[in-house]
Structure 1
Amino acid sequence: MDSTTGLRTLRDFIRFGASQFRAAGLNFGHGTDNAFDEAAWLVLHTLHLPLDLPESWWDARLSEVERTRVVAVLRERTATRKPAAYLTREAWFAGLSFYVDERVLVPRSPLAELIAAGFEPWLDPDAVTRALDLCAGGGCIGIATALALPQAQVDLADVSADALAVARVNIERHRVSDRVRAVQSDVLDGLEPGDRYELIVSNPPYVDAEDMAALPDEYRHEPALGLAAGDDGLDVVRRILAGAHRHLTADGVLIVEVGNSQAAVEAAFPELPLIWLEFEAGGHGVFLVHARELPAA
C-alpha cells in the first residue's frame, strides 16, 4: 500500500514529511534545523502558501493534484538530499527573500543580526557611504546591508561569474540596482586601487580539509568554491587580512565570518587585536578588526 494513502490535510502531509526525513537521517542547517520545519517549508511553498500560515488552516484538505505535487517534492528532498532552498529556489536571510540555486551557498550567517542593528556600536550607520560584501556569493549579505544602510553604495565582489549572476537576480529582486553592483574579483585583486570602504564584511570560504571530508550530503550540493579553504581553512582569510587595509578608510572596519576556523585564526594571528562578536540569536566565529590595526598584519 502506498504510504501516502489516507493523507488528506496540510497537517497530514507535514507530519508525513517530517517522519520521512527523520527516518532517512537527513541533515538540516540550510534555513531550518529540524525535520518538522523543513517539511512545513516544503509543503507550504509547494502549495503557494505563506510560511506564517495560521494553524487553523492546517486541517484544510488538499486536492488530488496538490497531493501529488507535495508528495513529489518531499520524496525529492529525501532521494536527492538537496537542501530545501535549492528545491524551492528561495532562501530567507535577515528577514528578506532571496533567489538561490546550486551556483551559490544557501545563506545562514549570524551576520544577519549585526546587519539588523545597522552595525552599531561598531560603526555609525549614517556615516557609511560605501560598503563591500567580499566573497558575496548570491549577494544576500551585501543587499541586506544596502537595505539597512539606505545611504550607502554597496559592492558585491566574488570570483565566481556564476555566483554573480545569481547576485544580479537578487539585486533586481530587491530593486537596489541604483546602489548595489556586482564586481568580479578574486578576493580583493579585482577591485580598483581607489576603491575605499568604511565597511568590508565577508563570509568567505573557511572550511578546512578535515571538515570538508566530513560534510553531510546536503552540503555537498553547494559549490565547493564557496566552502573549501585549504588544510587549515584560512587560505582566503589570510588574503583578506593581508590586503583589506588598502581598501578601507582610515576609520573603517573589517568584519569576517570564519565559523569553526576561529581557533585556527587565533593561532595564526595572535598579534592581531581581533574582536570576536557575540550574537543573541546564536552563532560564532565572526571577528571584527579596525582598519588602523591591519597594517601590522
Structure 2
Amino acid sequence: MSARSRLPSSPSARLVTGGDYLRFANQLLASTQVAHGQGFSNAQEETLTLLGAATGLPWEKLPTCFQRPLSEKEKNRFVELLDCRVFDRTPTAYLVGEAWLGGLSFSVDPRVIIPRSYFVELIPEVIPHWLPPSDSIKRIADVCTG
C-alpha cells in the first residue's frame, strides 16, 4: 500500500483477492458518498474500472482476478487510485485516462470535459431526422466534446 494513502486502515492486511478489493472499494465509495455521474452510474462500474487500471486487464478479463491474490504492485496501484477517487474526488475517467460514450473510447485528462450523455442511446435514432443531407452541410460546431 502507498505510504501516503489516506484510507482509514490498511486494507492490505485483510484483503487478498481482486474480489476482496472490489468489495472493500464498493463499501468505501458508498460510505463516503462519492457521486457517480462522470460516465459511471454506480460504484461497481467505477471499482471495476479502477481494478482494470491497477491490474492491466481489459474489462472482459477482470473476472480472472476476482479469486486470485493480487500482486503487491496491483494492490498498491488499486489503493492509490481508490485513495484519489475518494479523498480528492478525482473522477475515475481522469484516473484511468479513458472515458466511454456510445461504445467509443475517448482519451481524457483534467484538461477536457469527460464525454457523457444520458441521451447517447437516442443519438443514432433521432439525430438523422434533424440533419439535412450530408452533402449540404458546410459547417459543424464541435461544442464541449474535449
TM-score (norm 2): 0.79
Percent of aligned pairs with the same residue?
34
Match of 2:91 in 1: 83
Q: Does 1:104 align with 2:112?
A: yes
Distance 1:122 1:16, change over 3 A: same
Which amino acid letter does the alignment assign opposite residue 106 of structure 1? Answer: I
Q: Does 1:17 align with 2:25?
A: yes
Distance 1:65 1:92, change over 3 A: same
Deviations 1:180-221 (A, max 9, x none): xxxxxxxxxxxxxxxxxxxxxxxxxxxxxxxxxxxxxxxxxx
Which amino acid letter does the alignment assign opposite residue 128 of structure 1? Answer: S
Match of 1:71 in 2: 79
1:18-167 mapped onto 2 (5 Å cutoff) = 18-53=26-61, 55=63, 57-117=65-125, 119-123=127-131, 127-129=133-135, 130=137, 132-138=140-146
Distance 1:6 1:52 in 2: 26
Aligned residues: 136
Contact 1:9/1:62 (<8 A) preserved: yes
Task: Find the residue that maps to 1:20 and give its secondary structure.
Answer: helix
Deviations 1:149-184 (A, max 9, x none): xxxxxxxxxxxxxxxxxxxxxxxxxxxxxxxxxxxx
Which amino acid letter does the alignment assign opposite residue 51 of structure 1? Answer: W
Contact 2:113/2:144 (<8 A) preserved: no
Contact 1:45/1:51 (<8 A) preserved: no
Give the CA deviation at 1:57.
4.4
Q: Does 1:6 align with 2:1?
A: no
Distance 1:38 1:4, change over 3 A: same
Contact 1:8/1:61 (<8 A) preserved: yes
Task: Find the residue that maps to 1:92 and give its secondary structure.
Answer: strand
1:210-221 mapped onto 2 (5 Å cutoff) = none
Contact 2:17/2:65 (<8 A) preserved: no
| Stretches of structure 1 lacking an aligned partner (at least 5 in a row) | 139-297
TM-score (norm 1): 0.42
1:244-259 mapped onto 2 (5 Å cutoff) = none
Give the CA deviation at 1:105.
1.4
Distance 1:45 1:2 in 2: 20
Structure with greater proportional helix content? 2
Give the CA deviation at 1:59.
1.1
Structure with greater proportional strand content? 1
Distance 2:90 2:37 in 1: 12
Task: Find the residue that maps to 2:127 and give its secondary structure.
Answer: coil
1:237-248 mapped onto 2 (5 Å cutoff) = none
Distance 1:51 1:79 in 2: 25
Distance 1:106 1:54 in 2: 24
Contact 2:54/2:75 (<8 A) preserved: no
Distance 2:62 2:130 in 1: 39
Match of 1:288 in 2: none
Give the CA deviation at 1:121.
3.4
Distance 2:122 2:44 in 1: 28
Give the CA deviation at 1:136.
3.3
Give the CA deviation at 1:23.
1.5
Contact 2:99/2:106 (<8 A) preserved: yes
Distance 1:128 1:115, change over 3 A: farther
